[in-house]
């Protein structure tokens, strides 16, 4: 009795399965691609996860305490807006104010921006385990839609950071918002601030 020849990968019987596996590999590879990438800004002293091709805006401000330069990196989509902004506050303002007073002004400005109300606030936040911060959430209206703002603000020496997530209510996954907010961290900066305030260790 003649033995049947062993089946190879080149036989017609196996070829369809190989083709299917190749197609699945291509599909999974495409699904694995993310629109989110690490954005590192050494001159700003921070790193954050941001969607592709963020916009950068620099704006000079005149304040009662002196001139300020505001820097903003943002990503805008129809249903959501993510941004990180920072500015170095005048020395006189930092010395004359508590972090809580500075944070309250920023928070209230965002709440007014959406004509809304404050939903949550947490002033026990710390950046890098030491620098004071505030986390808040507000709900209101933007462009005629129900909207939300979830944000974290930090004061590092005289530099104020704002990490902002804003969008249409119930259209942006909370997991996506959390991933963005949690990704913010400090990195080594080449700039030396004109005022160094040691954070309280707890």
pLDDT block averages, 10 residues each, the chain of length 202: 42 44 39 79 96 92 83 95 96 91 96 96 95 98 95 97 97 97 90 44 44
| pLDDT for res 67 | 84
Position 190 scores a pLDDT of 55
| CB proximity list for 136: less than 8 A, separation 6 or greater | 107, 110, 118, 120, 121, 122, 149, 150, 151
The answer to whether residue 108 sits within a structural domain is yes
Instruction: Answer whether residue 8 is part of any domain.
Output: no
In-domain check, residue 47: yes
pLDDT at position 101: 95
Residue 144: inside a domain: yes
Query: What is the maximum span of the chain, computed from C-alpha positions, in angstroms?
Result: 101
Q: Is residue 100 part of a domain?
A: yes
Contacts of 32 (CB under 8 A, 6+ apart): none
Its domain, for residue 71, covers 36-186
Q: Which residues touch 192 (CB under 8 Å, ≥6 apart)?
A: none
- Position 192 in a domain: no
Strand 185-186: give its sheet, edge to edge: 36-41, 46-51, 185-186
pLDDT of residue 178: 97
Number of domains in the chain: 1
Whether residue 4 lies inside any domain: the answer is no
Which of 36, 73, 72 minimizes the C-alpha distance to 54? 73
Q: Encoding tokens for residue 132?
A: 């004071």
CA distances from 36 to 15, 19, 29, 108, 160 (A): 37, 31, 16, 29, 24
First to last CA, the chain: 84
For 47, the token pair is: 């790193």
> Residue 47's domain is classified under what CATH number?
3.40.1000.10
Say whether pTM exceeds 0.95.
Answer: no
In a domain, 200, yes or no: no
**What is the DSSP secondary structure assignment for residue 14, as one 8-state letter?**
T
- Identify whether the C-beta of residue 154 lies closer than 8 Å to the C-beta of residue 181: no
């Amino acid at each position: 009795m003649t033995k049947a020849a062993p089946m190879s990968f080149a036989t017609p019987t196996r070829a369809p399965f190989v083709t299917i596996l190749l197609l699945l590999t291509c599909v999974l590879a495409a699904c694995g691609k993310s629109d989110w990438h690490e954005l590192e800004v050494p001159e700003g002293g921070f790193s954050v996860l941001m969607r592709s091709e963020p916009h950068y805006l620099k704006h000079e401000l005149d304040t009662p305490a002196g001139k300020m330069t505001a820097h903003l990196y943002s990503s805008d989509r129809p249903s959501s807006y993510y941004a990180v902004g920072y500015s170095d506050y005048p020395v006189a303002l930092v010395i004359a104010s508590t972090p809580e007073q500075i944070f309250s002004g920023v928070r209230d400005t965002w709440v007014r921006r959406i004509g809304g109300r404050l939903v949550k606030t947490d002033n026990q936040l710390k950046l890098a385990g030491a620098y004071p911060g505030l986390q808040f959430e507000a709900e209101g209206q933007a462009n005629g839609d129900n909207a939300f703002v979830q944000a974290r603000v930090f004061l590092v020496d005289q530099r104020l950071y704002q990490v902002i997530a804003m969008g249409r209510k119930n259209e942006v996954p909370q997991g996506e918002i959390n991933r963005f907010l949690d990704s913010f961290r400090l990195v080594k900066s080449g700039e030396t601030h004109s005022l160094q305030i040691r954070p309280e260790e707890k």
